[in-house]
Amino acid sequence: MTSAEPVAIEGYASLFGLSDLAGDVVFAGAFQESLARKQTLPLLLDHDPRLVAGRWIEAAEDSRGLYVRGEIDAGARAASLAQRRLREGVDGLSIGFVAKAQSKRPGGGRNLLQLELWEVSLVAFPMAPQARLARRRA
């Protein structure tokens, strides 16, 4: 991978019905309203708005969770850093959101029923350990 080549990546940024490390559980349908208003989402590194690496071209709910497909844009500020992290094996995904509807879970955490999705980040240690890239192509 060179910094001049676009890099396509895809995977699950969130999985329904599974507790994350904070005890939060995202429910099916939580992203529907937010996704209906958005055309593309920023692809950030570690939720840092200064580290834009590209964009998510597709974000959709399926029976498993929130599937995303995007590209690291060679002209983006953090593209070379994102490509380096991919080469190092970083494959975690994490969602940046605001909870619009939620309830407390017994024992801690939240049931996340409606979320306003702001961005999806490439991270080394996702809060939802199963949220990972499935494929990457140069």
- Please say if the pLDDT value at position 121 is more than 60: yes
* Count of all residues that appear for the chain in the document: 138
71 is annotated as an active-site residue: no
- Please say if the pLDDT value at position 81 is more than 50: yes
Q: Is residue 131 part of a domain?
A: no
**Domain membership of residue 11 as a residue range:** 7-124
Neighbours of 74 (CB within 10 A): 16
Q: Is residue 111 part of a domain?
A: yes
Residue 31 three-state SS: coil
- 8 Å CB contact between 7 and 136: yes
- Please say if the pLDDT value at position 137 is more than 80: no
Domain count, the chain: 1
Distance CA 8, CA 69 (A): 7
Q: Which position among 14, 71, 119, 121 bears the catalytic label?
A: 119
CA separation, residue 26 to residues 9, 14, 74, 91, 95 (Å)? 22, 7, 32, 20, 11
Q: Which residues pair with 71 in a beta bridge?
A: 8, 55
pLDDT digits 0-9 by tens, 22-50: 999 999 999 999 999 987 899 999 999 99
Displacement of CA 90 from its chain's centroid (Å): 13
Q: Is residue 134 part of a domain?
A: no
Residue 89 belongs to domain with CATH number? 3.20.16.10
Handedness of CA 54, 10, 12, 127 (dihedral sign): negative
Q: Is residue 45 part of a domain?
A: yes
Q: Is residue 135 part of a domain?
A: no
47 is annotated as an active-site residue: yes
Q: Is residue 74 part of a domain?
A: yes
Q: Is residue 98 part of a domain?
A: yes
119 is annotated as an active-site residue: yes
Q: Is residue 132 part of a domain?
A: no
More confident residue, 4 or 106: 106
